[in-house]
Amino acid sequence: MVVLREGICPGLNQDLVQALRNLDIRTVEDLVSANLEELAQKCTVSYKALIAVRRVLLAQHAAFPVSCADLYEELLSSTAILSTGNHCLDKLLDSGLYTGEITELIGGPGSGKTQVCFSTAVHISCQLKQSVVYIDTNGGLSANRLLQMLQAKTSTMEEQMAALQRIQVFKVFDVFSLLKCLQNIRIGEVETACVGTSVKALILDSVSAVLSNMLGGKQTEGMSLMMQVAGELKTISKDLSVAVLVTNHATRDGSGQLKAGLGQSWSHVPRTRVLLQRVERPGASSGLRLATLTKSSRQSCRVEEEFDLGGWRGPEDMKAGYSGKRKLECDTPGVD
Partner 1 sequence: MHRTIASLPLAPSVKTKLTSAGFDTCADLKDLRPLQLCKEAGISQEEALEVLQTLRSDDGVGGVNPLGGAGAVRCGVTALQLLQREHALGDIITFCSALDSALGGGVPVGKTTEVCGAPGVGKTQLCVQLAVCVQIPVCVGGQGGQALYVDTEGSFLVQRAADLAQAAVEHCTLLAHDHEQQAALKDFTVENILSRLWLVRCHDYVELLAHCYLLPDFLTKHPEVQLVVIDSIAFPFRHDFEDFSQRTRLLNGLAQQLIQLATEHSVAVVLTNQMTTKVWNGQSKLVPALGWHLFINHPVRWRLRYLTASLRMVFGIWLLPPPQAPPPPQAPPPQCHRVSGPG
Choosing from 83, 168, 292, 294, the residue that interacts with partner 1 (CB under 8 A) is 168
Under 8 Å between Cβ of 62 and 308? no
Q: How far is the CB of 240 from partner 1 (least distance, A)?
A: 15
Least distance between partner 1 and beta carbon 182 (Å): 9
Q: What is the three-class DSSP state of 35?
A: coil
Which helix (H) or strand (E) segment holds residue 104: the answer is: strand 102-107
Q: Does 75 bind partner 1 (CB under 8 A)?
A: no
C-beta of 6 vs 37, nearer to partner 1: 6
Give the shortest CB-287-to-partner 1 separation in angstroms. Answer: 6
Q: Candidates 41-49, 65-73, 81-89, 142-150: pick the segment binding partner 1 (CB under 8 A).
A: 142-150
DSSP class of 134: E
| Shortest Cβ 263–partner 1 spacing (Å) | 12
Q: Is the peptide bond before 78 cis (omega within 30 degrees of 0)?
A: no
Binding positions for partner 1, 9-28, rule CB under 8 A = 26-27
Q: Distance between CA 178 and CA 243 in Å, rounded?
A: 18
Residue 81 or 172 having the CB closest to partner 1 = 172
Query: Considering the complex, what minimum distance in angstroms separates the CB of residue 97 from partner 1?
Result: 19
Note the helical H segments in the chain: 14-22, 28-33, 36-42, 47-61, 68-78, 87-92, 113-126, 143-153, 157-165, 175-187, 207-211, 222-239, 263-267
Q: Residues with Cβ < 8 Å from 312, sequence gap 6 or more? A: 85, 86, 119, 123, 149, 152
If DSSP codes are grouped into helix, strand and coil, which group holds residue 51?
A: helix
- Residue 197 within binding range of partner 1, rule CB under 8 A: no
**Pairing status of strand 97-98 against strand 272-278:** unpaired
Site string for partner 1, 294-333 (x = CB under 8 A): --------------xxxx----------------------
Q: Helix (H, G, I), strand (E, B), or coil: what is residue 102?
A: strand
Q: Which is nearer to partner 1, 84 or 168 (CB)?
A: 168
With binding defined as CB under 8 A, does residue 140 bind partner 1? Answer: yes
The count of residues interacting with partner 1 (CB under 8 A) is: 74
Q: Which stretch binds partner 1 (CB under 8 A): 54-62, 74-82, 143-151, 324-332?
A: 143-151
Q: Residue 169 interacts with partner 1 (CB under 8 A)?
A: yes
Q: Does 106 bind partner 1 (CB under 8 A)?
A: no
74 interacts with partner 1 by CB under 8 A: no
Q: Which residues of 121-142 are buried (b: 16+ CB within 10 A; e: fewer)?
A: bbbbbbbbbbbbbbbbbeebbe
Verify binding: residue 258, partner 1, rule CB under 8 A: no
Instruction: Let me know the angle formed at the C-alpha of 198 by 227 and 104, rounded to the nearest 5 degrees.
Output: 35
Q: CB of 296 within 8 A of CB of 94?
A: yes
Q: How far is the CB of 298 from partner 1 (least distance, A)?
A: 29
Q: Tell which one of 78, 213, 257, 299 touches partner 1 (CB under 8 A).
A: 213
Shortest distance in whole angstroms from residue 101 CB to partner 1: 23
- According to CB under 8 A, which one of 191, 253, 331, 336 is a site residue for partner 1? 191
79 belongs to the binding site for partner 1 (CB under 8 A):
no
Q: Is 144 near partner 1 (CB under 8 A)? A: yes
154 is a contact residue toward partner 1 (CB under 8 A): no
Tell me if residue 188 falls in helix, strand or coil.
Answer: coil
Assess 116 for contact with partner 1 (CB under 8 A).
no
